[in-house]
A and B are shown apart, each in its own frame.
Chain A
Amino acid sequence: MSAGTAELHYRFPPAQAYRLNRCLYAIKSDPAFRARYRADAVAAMDEAGLALPERAALTAGDRDALVALGAHPYLVFMADLRVKMDGGAGSFEYF
């Protein structure tokens, strides 16, 4: 990482985190994968080919750990939100 970019909120996603970001993207944007993830997160993470630290961070919902592993913060944020939107429609559109 070049000097001066470490403090940026949105950084170039490192290539070694591609599968992690691909998994977060699928949770966010692929309704079929998101349904599989909600039904069986372990199997979905197997399918996505995540490494052990990635699986632990995602399972714990640990944003800082995910970002430290190279996850894009927006993908972490919206993957989580879309899982919640699927799971609790009652908490949305309350006015």
Chain B
Amino acid sequence: MLVGAFACAHTPQLLARPETEDRDLVLRVHAAFGRVRARLAALRVDAIAVVAGDHVEAFFLDRVPALAVYVGVEAAGAFGHYRYRFPIHEPLARAVLDQGIERGFDLLYTQDAPLDYAFFVPLHFTMPEPPVPLVPLHVNVYLPPQPTPRRCYEWGRALGEILRARPERIAVMASGGLSHFPGTDRYASPDFDFDRRLLDMLAAGRGHELAAITAEELDKAGNVELRTWITVLGAVGAAPADVYCYEPSWHHGNAVVEWPL
């Protein structure tokens, strides 16, 4: 069953904490992550299905999947001096893969790809004790042509149906966003107005409208990673979001939300 739904920023500076960052802002985002962690514990989840966009880490230009499922025994990665390793809920990952394929989604699967920091940063702050296994789900967000927002939404809707039919207590978590432009001359000027309109829509339970946004609009708003949120929106439908925080830094709109189910 699907018992929880969340979306978390994964800005690496939240983890690396360089002196370029506003300390109080970072700590406020950490506090919002702490609320997610408490909620995951209270919901007694058996597994977390994390929807994240690999940052050209597991999947380089030699092979670029639109959508992928990690079905190994565990998934591991590294960022800076951090080394991390998470067990995968293999029966659940298999169910997502098998039933996703059955429903017409041509998913890539991997038993050995490295796990990008897009997965690790929110889990570092939100994983409850004792830790629970993952189902890591990749959406291509940085290497055009990416899956369309509508396709992400449809995949999320199928994912939600698959998870609801399972016996485990499952939370789904999108990782990414909001507005940021890494590697471009807009890095220091994210589109905070877009983000605020977006969060108002989500709070009003109108997230399903994002299925109709275009790839160009996402790129223009610095929100290519919103595909992970749109995937989760497909799973939660018209549930209104509870916005835990929106903290615009000099380079990044940091948001943490829950969709209470």
Contacts and interface: CB of A to CB of B under 8 A. Distances in A.
Interface of A: 4-5, 8-13, 18, 21-22, 25, 28-29, 31, 63-64, 67, 72-78, 81-82, 85, 89, 91-95
Contact of B183 (A25, A75, A95): A75
B56 interface: yes
B161 interface: no
Given A10-B219, A91-B18, A93-B17, A74 B23 contact: no
Given A25-B60, A74-B56, 9 more contacts: A8-B219, A73-B182, A74-B183, A75-B56, A75-B183, A91-B19, A92-B80, A93-B16, A93-B17
B61 A10 contact: no
B18 A92 contact: yes
Nearest to A26: B60
24 contacts: A5-B144, A8-B144, A8-B216, A8-B220, A11-B144, A18-B61, A22-B61, A28-B56, A29-B57, A29-B60, A29-B114, A63-B183, A74-B55, A75-B183, A77-B182, A77-B183, A85-B80, A91-B18, A92-B18, A94-B17, A94-B19, A95-B17, A95-B23, A95-B26
Interface residues of B, number: 32
Interface string B225-242: 000000000000000000
Contacts of A11: 144
A95 to B, nearest CB: 5
Contacts of A4: 216
Of A9, A12, A25, most B-chain CB atoms within 10 Å = A9
B142 A10 contact: yes
A74 B141 CA distance: 11
Nearest to B15: A93
Contacts, number: 84
Nearest to B114: A29
B181 interface: yes
A72 B142 contact: yes
A78 B60 CA distance: 14
A89 B142 contact: no
Contacts of B60: 21-22, 25, 29
A76 B142 CA distance: 13
Interface in B181-205: 181-187
B136 interface: no
Given A9-B184, A9-B222, A78-B55, A21 B16 contact: no
Given A74-B55, A89-B81, A9 B186 contact: yes
A21 B80 contact: no
Contacts of A95: 17, 23, 26
Nearest to A77: B183
Contacts of B16: 85, 92-93
Contacts of B224: 9-10
A31 to B, nearest CB: 8
A92 B16 CA distance: 6
B182 A78 contact: yes
